Structure 1
Amino acid sequence: MKMVDEVVLKNATETAWSVYRARHPDVDPQDNRRCLLERHLPRRGEERESDTEELAGFGIAYLHRFFGDGC
């Protein structure tokens, strides 16, 4: 399996988390969902060639799919 560049992964996580929190301002910055996001994105990046924007998109979709608006 291919490893995801750490900088790409960090930037994608920050972007996805920022977008999610902007849409859900009641979510605490240290919410457990961030930890789940941090575990999810490396697996996505290993599955295929990914860049920051693509991984961030996967992260945003993941958060919305599993936590939606009713979190």
Structure 2
Amino acid sequence: MDDAVLKTATETAWTVYRARHPDVEVSDSRRCLLERHLVRRREERESDAEELASFGIAYLHRLSSDEC
């Protein structure tokens, strides 16, 4: 998988999450956590951008506010 797939997945997941949570700033620390999570997922198994984005969205929804 190339970096373009990872970037697309990250952008998609972050855009969807922020659309559902308009109070979250663009530079929120959750974005960094999301990126790290998706890099690990990519290393664990081959995924396309859509599947990776869905993993990312689910991950963001599981984060508690004190983890951020």
TM-score exceeds 0.5: yes
Is 1:64 paired with 2:58? no
Q: Deviations over 1:18-58 (max 9, x none)?
A: 00000000000000000110111011011111000000000
Q: CA RMSD in A?
A: 1.5
Superposed structure 1 runs of 4+ greater than 6 Å apart: none
Could you tell me the percent identity over the aligned residues? 76
Q: Which runs of 5+ in 1 are unaligned?
A: none
Counterpart residue type for residue 42 of structure 1: V
Taking the aligned partners of 2:30 and 2:9, their CA distance within structure 1 comes to 15
What is the total number of aligned residue pairs between the two structures?
66
Q: TM-score, normalised by structure 1?
A: 0.86
Q: Which runs of 5+ in 2 are unaligned?
A: none
